[in-house]
Copies of this chain bind each other. A is one copy, B any other.
Amino acid sequence: MVRSRSAAALKPQDAYLQIGEVAERTGVTQRTLRFYEEKELLKPPTEIEGGFRLYSEEDIRRVEHIKQLQKLLGFTLADIKEMVEAEEMQEQLRAEDRAEADPEERRRRIARARELTERQHAVIRQKVDGLLEMKSRLEEKLQDYRAWLRELDA
C-alpha cells in the first residue's frame, strides 16, 4: 500500500487522499485534476513527500462543484473559476470572526459578496426561465402525441 506512507505520516487519521482516489471518487481523470490545478481552479493541494498531491474532503467537494457548474451551466472553465473564487471569498467572509473585523470594512465586503451572488442568481434565473419555457413546449408536444395516438385508436 503506497498511500499509507505520507498521508499516514502526516495525519494518522488518513484525512488526505491521493490523486487516484480523488479521481475515482469524483469521476474525473487524474489528468483533469492536474489540468484544473494548472488553470488555478484547484489550488495546489498540500503536496508532501516526493511531490505527491494530497487532497482533502474539501477539495473533493470543490471538484464536484466544478463539474456541476460545467454540466448545469455549460460555462467555460474560466467562467467557473470566477464563480468559484467568488464563492471562496464568501466562505472566508462567513468564517472570519464577525465581531473582530472593522465594521465598515466588513460592510463593504458583504456588499461585494452580495453583488456577486446577485449576478450569479440573475444568470441562473435566466437559464431556468428559458429552460422552463422549453420544457412546457415539449410538454405540449407530448400532449399532442398522446392525443393523436388516442385518435388513431378510435
Residues facing B in A110-146 (CB within 8 A) are 110-111, 113-114, 117-118, 120-121, 124-125, 127-128, 130-132, 134-135, 138-139, 141-142, 144-146
The listed residue with most B CB atoms (<10 A of its CB), out of A68, A72, A111, A113, is A72
Contact A72 B127 (CB under 8 A): yes
A11 within 8 A of B: no
Contact B121 A72 (CB under 8 A): no
**A142 in complex: contacting residue of B68, B106, B118, B138, CB < 8 Å:** B118
Contact B142 A121 (CB under 8 A): yes
Contact B125 A90 (CB under 8 A): no
A73 within 8 A of B: yes
Copies in the complex: 2
Q: Which residue of B lies closest to A153 (CB)?
A: B107
Which bucket holds chain A's interface residue count?
Answer: 35 or more
**A113 in complex: contacting residue of B107, B130, B145, CB < 8 Å:** B145
A44 within 8 A of B: no
Contact B72 A131 (CB under 8 A): yes
A9 within 8 A of B: no
A1 within 8 A of B: no
Contact B131 A90 (CB under 8 A): no
A148 within 8 A of B: yes
A43 within 8 A of B: no
Contact A110 B142 (CB under 8 A): no
Q: Known A-B contacts: A110-B152, A124-B135. Give 4 more (CB < 8 A).
A: A72-B127, A72-B134, A114-B142, A124-B138
